Amino acid sequence: MMEFKDTSEELNKRIEEIQNKVLTGKIKLLDLELVPIFDDLKNLITIDNLKKSSKTYEDACGLLNQKFDELKKLLQSLDNETKFLRFLKTNPNDLQISLLFDGCWIKTFNIDALSLKFLKFSKDRLCKEKGSAMDIEHLEKIEVKENFFLEIPKQKFSEKITIFFNNSKKMFPCPFDDIFGEEQDQSKIYEKFVYLLHLLQLGKIKYQKETNYLYI
């Protein structure tokens, strides 16, 4: 009696290779004969490996369904070609031809970062002629007879942050942005933001993320 050999793994590998080649466009299922795969599958199925072979059968049927889809698309394209030739023989006017092709092309879209205007602007900047190199002259050392004093801030950081806290307490609770009011000076906004971070770290002020509110 001839010993049975389970070749399900080999068959699974063949089916997987076919699927990959179809997906990458290397082959078309219409050009491929699937009967040998089902013959091998028929000889493979036994009671012992029924669970394993059922997955192989499912994958093989998947290939067969794909082949039927390719066949339907081919027949449909042939039918469309016949219809199109019949349409041309009726000597259609320009409007009828325009309506026929309406919707065949997807409308283009523009991304500002890749627009023609932006690319032209980038090209002009890259192609801009560079000026002559700047000459760097060494400065002559001079003796300073007057005493040099390092400017010392009038107030310490701890004093400034205390003043900020005392002035802001009456506002709490309030939205985060209200702390800065209508201040337009970026340096002052940054200064207040630094004070706020320190006060949050010290726990003197608390922040509710869900409501974006500051409170004591």
Give me the tens of pLDDT residue by residue for the chain, a chain 216 residues long: 445 566 778 888 888 888 888 888 888 888 888 888 888 888 777 776 667 777 888 888 888 888 888 888 877 777 777 777 787 788 888 777 777 766 665 565 566 666 677 777 777 777 766 666 667 676 666 665 555 554 555 568 888 888 888 888 888 888 888 888 888 888 888 888 888 888 888 888 888 888 888 888
- Element spanning 196, H or E: helix 186-202
**Contact (Cβ atoms closer than 8 angstroms) between residue 196 and residue 160:** no
Apex 128 CA angle, 125 and 129, nearest 5: 160
State the Cα torsion 170-176-180-184 to the nearest 10°: -160
Whether 34 contacts 67, CB under 8 Å: yes
| H/E segment holding residue 99 | helix 94-101
Task: Answer yes or no: pTM beyond 0.85.
Answer: no
